């Protein structure tokens, strides 16, 4: 067997080194691609988790609003009843206004009557004073008359 020439071995060695370099370069690119995909997956997972949290919060809010709406509907008054109550309220307000006017008139009348009674009381007091004065004078005149009758 003939020995393999050195040039051929050198070329084969250079070809193998080139192949190793090319594979090393390809593996580096694949690792970088895998790392970027891992980061993208982590970002997407974080976004998905955030969306899941938001969905749960939105579901809870929808449930709360649904319950509030049901409670509101249970406690609400129909339009017919509301209109009837408003009409009754208006009628009662008008009646109260009329009654207040009547009460005001009665109060004025009572105030006038009280003033008339006060004047009558003052007049009675004057008359009582005059009567007492006349009775005193009458008593004095009667006493003088009795004296005169006794002297005669």
pLDDT surpasses 70 at 1: no
pLDDT digits (tens, 9 = 90+) for 25-69: 999 999 999 999 999 999 999 999 999 999 999 999 999 999 999
The C-alpha torsion from 28 through 34 and 39 to 45, rounded to 10°, is -170
Which H/E stretch holds residue 25?
A: helix 6-75
Cα separation, 121 vs 101, whole angstroms: 30
8 Å CB contact between 87 and 94? no
% of the chain beyond a pLDDT of 90: 79
| Structure confidence at residue 2 (pLDDT) | 79
pTM as predicted: 0.41
* pLDDT score recorded for residue 76: 79
Which residues, at least 6 apart from 85, have a Cβ–Cβ distance to it below 8 Å?
A: 77
Mean pLDDT to the nearest integer, 118-136: 93
Q: Sign (positive/negative) of CA torsion 34, 36, 37, 38?
A: positive
């Amino acid at each position: 067997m003939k020995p393999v020439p050195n040039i051929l071995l050198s070329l084969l060695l250079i070809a193998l080194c080139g192949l190793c370099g090319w594979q090393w370069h390809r593996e580096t690119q694949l690792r970088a691609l895998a790392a970027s995909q891992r980061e993208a997956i982590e970002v997407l997972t974080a976004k998905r988790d955030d969306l899941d949290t938001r969905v749960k919060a939105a579901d809870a809010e929808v449930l709360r609003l649904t319950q509030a709406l049901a409670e509101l509907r249970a406690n609400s008054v129909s339009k017919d009843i509301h209109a009837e109550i408003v009409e009754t309220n208006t009628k009662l307000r008008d009646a109260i206004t009329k009654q207040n006017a009547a009460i005001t008139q009665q109060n004025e009348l009572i105030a006038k009557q009280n003033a008339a009674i006060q004047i009558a009381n003052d007049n009675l007091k004057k008359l009582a004073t005059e009567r007492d004065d006349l009775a005193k004078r009458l008593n004095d005149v009667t006493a003088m008359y009795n004296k005169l009758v006794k002297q005669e």
